[in-house]
Structure 1
């Protein structure tokens, strides 16, 4: 497996040109794999946007290594842990630094040895000068709605140096006064690179609904309501909406929950909708969720921490 992985890295590196980017067109064979979804879900515009975001994240990684002054230490094999100690970065910044370095392995400029936490990195080629402005213009040309993702990426990257040294908290700044508007724009169904998750999740969930006459649905981690919006739209299209006896929408963030309530309630004034707080990492029964009460528990992208997924499922 290590040999295959190494070969893939070399193939990717050989194909990578830091001075050239073309989104191109999707492989025609994808249509066969995606035939169960509406054609609009996986459009060429979405494909090109995803390709652009992939490249933009690589350029951001190069830019961040420069801002963090890490490049000068990569002449020798060093792990993210060791780099954090060299630069007196916060220990918890290790994962972010590891992600930055891993992004550059596919370019051939950085090489890696080892696995997981013990992985070490070394500079293989001189890094290029990133051209984020040009890529941003290309992204907006593909789809103006890509601004939401690009703005959020730029904002998050701008916090990295201060977070690395402990001068600021990533969570506080990402969800602070400057960050909240960016999240609201990102978590919007006009943003195709995000909304595709909502369409896929809704399609899978609707296909698995039981055939009983009435339905009770629990929507967890609903955020500002974009996933809920698509799910209810698909339920309506498939004729399930009239069978809903209860639909409970939960979101721990009060501001996001209020945004959700205003939007979804206005769209479905005749539907029995309730809103509540639910922390999926704590026992659900202690938060008013009766075991076995709901026919479907629905959520999109709210179990992001793999260390907590099993616990959340048990709850």
Structure 2
């Protein structure tokens, strides 16, 4: 795969990378506190088996504990000597040092997961009930909001790239399908970008595994963007799709496609929904390779559709987020041509656009 760098967006700038590092440090501090509250002694050290036993971890969550140890090693909180894990000097995080960046939704969700993590891995709480219950559900809406700067860059990058392509490719208003609309932040970013450019949008179908959630987003957006013909419906990446053969000029999704149980099969089904010459555009959180762990895994690994993925060159387990090379291989296997995988600018890979027709 030829790596193509996105150098013009300015979204993943020096401040963004610094703040991402700060939140990774904050996550490491939360994890270290969880493990110590669970009885692990960082000074004395422990083996992986002793960590599982000491934390009273269920077998289904042993990889989550292992991931936590490797993440703490990556962040400098633990060292590994033979089969023993030992505490290193605790690092300090000082986020927000003169930076006008909104990261509180990340911190709130990290704090919430940390408060329940031991109960989940010990089987005293169900992860779905915790994450989507009365306390957890509002945190997700704030997390996936365009006012959350740590997440909104993925929406904005997709919106700018898709609006560029609409302007270049279409003489008339294009038909667009969005996957995994959720609370509507990605579709809001796209419609706002198109309005800013006076780019007309024809039919725009917002879909989600929850038809109610997609319809709620449609109602909220319709008032602000009356010129766009918005529809809403249910679409499950892992099930049969509606009869949309060659129906759309563009299909786009932000941090959705990795949730498919069989990514290649889902991408292949989506390809059949594109008109001749149509384009699929995905915006995804992305890792450099399988040796690099992302702090988001602490949160998302508790979801059932974030199964462990292959480990690559490392013994560290990882969950849900793929590399650019992985996505290129998925797109090729699904029959796409003119494939582009564009990784963010800056010193570490945190996101990417996957484009194919």
Q: Give TM-score scaled by structure 1 length.
A: 0.72
Flag the 1:249–1:186 CA change in 2: closer, same or farther, 3 A: same
Flag the 1:227–1:193 CA change in 2: closer, same or farther, 3 A: same
Flag the 1:290–1:181 CA change in 2: closer, same or farther, 3 A: same
Q: Does 1:122 align with 2:84?
A: yes
Residue in structure 2 matching 1:52, options 15, 22, 36? 22
Q: Is the 8 A contact 1:152 1:182 kept in 2?
A: yes
Q: Larger C-alpha radius of gyration, 1 or 2?
A: 1
- SS in structure 2 at match of 1:292: coil
Measured against aligned partners, the alpha-carbon deviations of 1:208-243 in whole angstroms (never above 9, x if no partner) come to 4443534111000011111111111222334432xx
2: CA distance, partners of 1:270 / 1:92: 49
2: CA distance, partners of 1:74 / 1:217: 57
Residue in structure 1 matching 2:253, options 285, 299, 304? 299
Q: Is the 8 A contact 1:214 1:245 kept in 2?
A: yes
2: CA distance, partners of 1:141 / 1:171: 37
2:181 match: 222
1: CA distance, partners of 2:263 / 2:203: 26
The alignment covers a number of residue pairs equal to 264
2: CA distance, partners of 1:237 / 1:110: 48
- Alpha-carbon deviation of 1:74? 8.0
2:203 match: 246
Q: Does 1:159 align with 2:129?
A: no
- Alpha-carbon deviation of 1:308? 3.6
Q: Give TM-score scaled by structure 2 length.
A: 0.65
Q: Is the 8 A contact 1:140 1:147 kept in 2?
A: no
2:37 match: 67
Query: What 5-or-longer segments of structure 2 have no aligned partner?
Result: 270-357
Flag the 1:112–1:171 CA change in 2: closer, same or farther, 3 A: farther
1:193 match: 150
1: CA distance, partners of 2:126 / 2:42: 26
Query: What 5-or-longer segments of structure 1 have no aligned partner?
Result: 1-32, 114-119
- SS in structure 2 at match of 1:304: helix
Residue in structure 2 matching 1:90, options 35, 39, 58? 58
1:311 match: 265
* RMSD, matched Cα: 3.1
- SS in structure 1 at match of 2:24: helix
More strand per residue: 1 or 2? Answer: 2
Query: Bigger relative contact order, structure 1 or 2, given CA contacts below 8 A and separation 6+?
Result: 2
1:102 match: 70
- Alpha-carbon deviation of 1:60? 1.5
Flag the 1:294–1:164 CA change in 2: closer, same or farther, 3 A: same
Q: Is the 8 A contact 1:93 1:164 kept in 2?
A: yes
- Alpha-carbon deviation of 1:102? 1.5
1:21 match: none
2:99 match: 142
